[in-house]
Amino acid sequence: MINLNTESNSSLLQQIQTKQNNLLEKLASGKRINSAADGAAAQQIIDRLTSQVEGNRQSISNAYDGVSLAQVAESGLSGISNDVNRIRELSVQAGNGLLTDADRRAIQAEVTQLQDNISQTIEQTEFGGKPLLTSDGSIDFQVGANAGQKISVGTQDFASSLSDVLNVDLSTAQGAEDALATTDAALETVGSARADLGATQNRFESAARNLGNADVNIAAARSRIQDTDYAQTTAESAAAGILNQSTIAVQSQANQQQGQVLALLS
């Protein structure tokens, strides 16, 4: 008996073609999971890992911004330290009893220029429009993909901290003697702040390295779940192609048989 019903063959052909299209999509995209339909649980895991990867990469950028900010602040303090050291040197010079009032006034003129330079450095040291040496506080950087993973760069009001230096007067012998203690205290303040900034830079750099390592590992984990196994998928695609051709041949033969029967009946 000749079976004229080709619906089962058509359904099988449609299934094979759908599978082949799916395999071709995986080969073209390089991804085994292209949508939740390919694996709902896997897609959820991929989405979470993607969030971590992208968050880590932005956090690395944030960390290096933090390094740059700390370097700018430390550079400003380095200039201030040099100026304070020069004021101290001039204070020692002003302690020479052989100096006349005119000599002391000349020394004080240089001190005044140094004080103006210190004030200018304090006012103009900024990063991205944020002043770094004019107020007490902190600037926070997100250095992780999750909440609470931050590193802060401390800021300080150096105009207040160094007010004594900014008012040093070497026009008298007593003023020169007082200036030594004042400049020593100022150098201690500036040196401590520079040490803190150096430690903060190291912390940012360490965080960036750790985030880089984590990013590589998380991306690798995502790849194992998401990416196409080309060898396996290519083999499956070839097998589906052969099956597709075979089914088309069977379908064609069935259609020919149906046409022959209809011709006999007519």
**Nearest alpha-carbon partner for 151 in 66, 61, 210:** 66
Tell whether 23 and 137 lie within a shared domain.
Answer: no
Q: In this structure, which amino acid lies at residue 58?
A: Q
- 238 in a domain, yes or no? yes
CATH label of the domain that carries residue 176: 1.20.1330.10
Tell whether 82 and 137 lie within a shared domain.
Answer: yes
Tell whether 83 and 174 lie within a shared domain.
Answer: yes
More reliable by pLDDT, 4 or 236: 236
Tell whether 84 and 139 lie within a shared domain.
Answer: yes
What pLDDT, on a 0 to 100 scale, did the predictor assign at position 220? 84
* pLDDT per position as a tens digit, 136-157: 999 999 999 888 999 999 999 9
* pLDDT per position as a tens digit, 7-19: 555 565 566 556 5
What pLDDT, on a 0 to 100 scale, did the predictor assign at position 77? 97
pLDDT above 50 (res 262): yes
**Rounded to 5°, angle at Cα 50 from 47 and 54:** 145
Tell whether 80 and 206 lie within a shared domain.
Answer: yes
- 39 in a domain, yes or no? no
pLDDT above 60 (res 63): yes
What pLDDT, on a 0 to 100 scale, did the predictor assign at position 171? 86
- State the average pLDDT for the chain: 82
- 42 in a domain, yes or no? no
| Mean per-residue pLDDT, 242-250 | 59
pLDDT above 50 (res 176): yes
Tell whether 105 and 82 lie within a shared domain.
Answer: yes
Highest mean pLDDT among 63-77, 89-103, 206-220: 63-77
- 44 in a domain, yes or no? no
- 191 in a domain, yes or no? yes
pLDDT above 50 (res 3): no
What pLDDT, on a 0 to 100 scale, did the predictor assign at position 50? 83
Tell whether 131 and 189 lie within a shared domain.
Answer: yes
* pLDDT per position as a tens digit, 84-126: 999 999 999 999 989 988 999 999 999 999 999 999 999 999 9
Inter-residue contact 185 to 168 (CB < 8 Å): no
More reliable by pLDDT, 221 or 203: 203
pLDDT above 90 (res 70): yes
Tell whether 137 and 248 lie within a shared domain.
Answer: no
Tell whether 143 and 260 lie within a shared domain.
Answer: no
Segments forming the whole domain that contains residue 149: 53-225
Tell whether 25 and 138 lie within a shared domain.
Answer: no
| Mean per-residue pLDDT, 30-48 | 70
Q: How many domains does the chain have?
A: 2
What pLDDT, on a 0 to 100 scale, did the predictor assign at position 14? 65
- 47 in a domain, yes or no? no
Inter-residue contact 203 to 143 (CB < 8 Å): no
Inter-residue contact 63 to 205 (CB < 8 Å): yes
Tell whether 184 and 67 lie within a shared domain.
Answer: yes
Tell whether 82 and 108 lie within a shared domain.
Answer: yes
- 37 in a domain, yes or no? no
DSSP 36-75: GGG-HHHHHHHHHHHHHHHHHHHHHHHHHHHHHHHHHHHH
- 73 in a domain, yes or no? yes
